[in-house]
Amino acid sequence: MTISAGRLSHPAVRALVTALNNHDEQAFFDALTADATMSDDGADRDLREWCDREVFATRGHLDVRSESDHGLSLVADYRNDTWGEMRTRWRFTVADGKVSRFETGQA
């Protein structure tokens, strides 16, 4: 069973996941702080480069399986045209109503 993006409990996370699933690059970056950072499997990455490669150019999509920590932690099935589908974990840090950092990796 999945949790639709529109039902995620944290508004900043909900905005980011909704934009990702809608392939709305403008809304995705609008949901982030100007100085947002991210990591993938424990390694910091260039956020824009990673998002271009792993999300927007490859039609990335999150099917959220569970959320915890007041909606700031997710377990989701992530898929894109490059890697197929895999179980992933996501951890979000929020500042001023926007995501300032996210960490993802295989669950």
List, in order, residues 6 or more apart from 12 with CB less than 8 Å away.
31, 92, 94, 97, 98, 99
Mean pLDDT, all residues of the chain: 97
- For 34-71, give the DSSP string: EEEEEEETTEEE-HHHHHIIIIITTT-EEEEEEEETTT
pTM of the model: 0.95
The structural domains of the chain, with segments of one domain joined by +, span 5-106
Rounded CA-CA distance 53/47 in Å is 10
pLDDT digits (tens, 9 = 90+) for 76-101: 999 999 999 999 999 999 999 999 99
Q: What is the pLDDT of residue 1?
A: 87
Q: Is 54 exposed, middle or buried (0-12, 13-18, 19+ CB in 10 A)?
A: middle
Domain 5-106 matching CATH 3.10.450.50: the answer reads yes
